[in-house]
Structure 1
C-alpha cells in the first residue's frame, strides 16, 4: 500500500508466542521493542500484534508520549461493525487477547446493541509457525474452536491474531461463505494510508526496501517469515535488544 515508506520491522522470534504469556511479561517485552524502534525516530509505531494491542497500547502511549501508536484492534472493530448485518460478531484470538476483554469492551462502547462472542485458539499460531496452513487436521481443529461461535449465528468473524489470515482459506472452508472474515492487515493498512495522506506525511513514491529485525532467526523461522514477506526484496538483520546487530543477508 505504501511502497514509498521506509518500513522498519521488529519480529520477536526468540520469545514468541506472546499470546500465552502474562500481561506483565507482554508489557515488558513491548517496552523493550518500542525503545529499540524509537531509535529510528519513526513517524508512527504500528503494534502489529493483537496480544500486545489488547494489553499494551494504552500503556505504551503513556510510557512513550512523543510517539503516535496504531494498533490492529481498533480498525478490525471498525470493519466488523460495518460488515455485520445481524449484529452478532465472533472473535478468535490468542488466550492473552481473549482474556483481556478488549474486543468485547470496545465493541460494546461503539455499539451496545452488538453481541460479541469470543474463543481463544492457542493451537492456531503453532500451526502457522510449522507451515500447516491447510489439511484435514488443521480444519478439524479450526472447526473445534469455531463451532461454538457459529452456533451463536454470527455473520462476522474477526481474525484476532496476526497469524490467522494465513489460515483464511481453511477458516473459510469451515465457516462457509455467509460469514464475513475480518483481516486486520487490510484494516490497519487502510487506516494508516488515510492518516498519512490526511496529515501530508507520505514519502516520495520511490519504492524502499523493508528493513527487518529479528531477535532470533533459526532456519525454520525463516520459512515462516517467507509466508508473511513473500515476493519482497528484503534486508534482514538479527538483533539483540541492547541494539547490537549482525547483518545476515539481503533477500
Structure 2
C-alpha cells in the first residue's frame, strides 16, 4: 500500500478530477482506518474517473471501488477495473436495484448532483447498503447556501441533516422518540466545512437509559441553580405545594406541568442572549 498522502495521490492521478483542497484532511480523518483493508467504497458522481483512481491507490489492492453516475460515459471506466453503475441517485428504484446487485458497502461518498433531494435520497436509501461501522459522507453541502439550488431555506440538505440531530437525540429515554428509519441506523453525525458524515451503526442506536455504579457517595447535591435565587425559590414553592397536596397523582402532574411552563419561560428568556457567543 502506498505511503503517499491522499493529496499527493490526487495530484498524480491519471484521470481528471476536481476536489476542494480542504476536503483531503477530512477524507484522511474519516477514511484512514479503512486503508489497507478489504473495504468496499462507493462514490456517487465519478465524472472523468480521477477520484476512483485516487481511492483505489489510497485504500490499496484489497479495496473494491464502485462508481455511480447518471452519465453513461462513465461506463468507459469499467476498462480500468472499476465497477460502474448508471442511474439516478434521486430514484428509490435505482437504490433498491443497486443493493441487490452489489450487496453491502463500507463507505458511500456522495459527490453527485449536490441538490437537496438528491443528497437526502442518497443518505436515506444509501444507508441501507452500509455495514455497521461504515459511513455515508455527503460532500459539497455548501450548495445548501446557493440560490440556484433553491437555498438557503428550510428544505436545504444542511437543515435536513440538522433535523436528524433531533432524531438521534430522541433516543434519550425521557424524550419523545421520533420514529425514523435513519434514527435506527445513524449513530452519530460529524460536520466539516462543506461535508457532513453520517456514522452508520445499528447496534449502537439504542434507547439511552441512566445507569449507576455502586461506588461511594458523599451525598453531593445538584448546584446548577445555586446562584439563581428565583429558580431556587420556585423549586422550594413547588416542593411545598407537592407536600400540601399529598400523593394524589393527577394533582401532582398538574402542578409539575405548571412549574414546567414557569421554568421553560424563565430559561427561554435567559437564553435570548446566546447568539452573542457566536460572534
Normalising by structure 2, report the TM-score: 0.33
Larger radius of gyration: 2
Higher RCO, Cα 8 Å, sep 6+: 1
